[in-house]
Structures are given as structure tokens and as C-alpha cells.
Amino acid sequence: MSSRCQSALKGDLPALDKAIQEVPLYNVDQIAKMKADFFTLNATGKETIGNYLDRTAGPSGMFTIYNDTVERGSRAGIYYRSSRNPLGANSTNYLLLHEMMHWILDGSETFLAKHLGLNAIGDQPRDDELNSLYFNSGCLDPG
């Protein structure tokens, strides 16, 4: 993590440290053909988890199911594809940091953007983009 991120997320570091130990990571490459409704109640019909990730994750190719208070009955965790976001790659680290922040805050894109002090507008795709710009630049406020 960049020193700018360490400083900006100082108050979140203890929770992030804990989350790194406990958040389930699902490599969707290995489970792509399983039915999505096994993992999330937001899936439709016969959709596989691979299709669900590709349909919903946006440009990052990752998503987080926070916990069962948000999506009751779903399997909480961070979902990614190792073929697209190999663990250990610098770009993956910032995507994971973004998802980990959702995990510890148990919150939406807008909630996260507000927490980071960014100019959130309450539009999920737009606020996701704002959060992504922030994390992918090593915690620079996109303004």
C-alpha cells in the first residue's frame, strides 16, 4: 500500500488488518460454472457465478458480498478471477483494498465515497468510478 493510502486510511488500518485474516476470497475462475444463486440471492434463474460476476462486477472484475445483513442468505466474501486479477499484482492489491473497504464498512459505493471524503453524488455506478479512480491512483482524490 502506498504511503499516501496508509496515511489516508490510517483510521481504517486496524479493521483492514483484521479483514485480511478473515474475509473469504472466492476465485471465480475455479467455480465459474456453479449456479450463482448458491452464492448470492441477487442472481437470476440459471445464471452461473461466472456470468454473474461478468454481468455485475464492472470494469474491475471484482465484487464484494458484504454479509447476511445486506444480502441475507448470500455467501459473504470478495469475488475475483485470478486470470484477470492475479493475487500479488500491484493493480490487484488496489482492487482488493477497494473491496476490503466495502467489507469493513459494510457499505455501498456512495457510503464508501463519503467515508473517503470524496464528492459522492448518490449514484452507485458513478460513485464506484470515483472510488476506483481513488484507489487505482494510490489514494489520490480525483477531485
C-alpha cell at 131: 472510488
Strand-pair category, 25-27 with 63-65: unpaired
Q: How far is the CB of 14 from Zn ion (least distance, A)?
A: 21
Residue 92 or 131 with smaller CB distance to Zn ion: 131
Residue 85 or 131 with smaller CB distance to Zn ion: 131
Residue 35 or 115 with smaller CB distance to Zn ion: 115
Task: State the residues that interact with Zn ion by CB under 5 A.
Answer: 109, 128, 131
Distance, CA of 119 to CA of 137 (rounded, Å): 16
Q: How far is the CB of 33 from Zn ion (least distance, A)?
A: 26
Distance, CA of 54 to CA of 82 (rounded, Å): 13
Q: Smallest Cα–Cα separation from 94: which of 41, 47, 134?
A: 134
* Long-range CB contact pairs, 122-126, < 8 A, 24+: 125/58
Q: How far is the CB of 135 from Zn ion (least distance, A)?
A: 8
Residue 48 or 131 with smaller CB distance to Zn ion: 131
Q: How far is the CB of 113 from Zn ion (least distance, A)?
A: 9
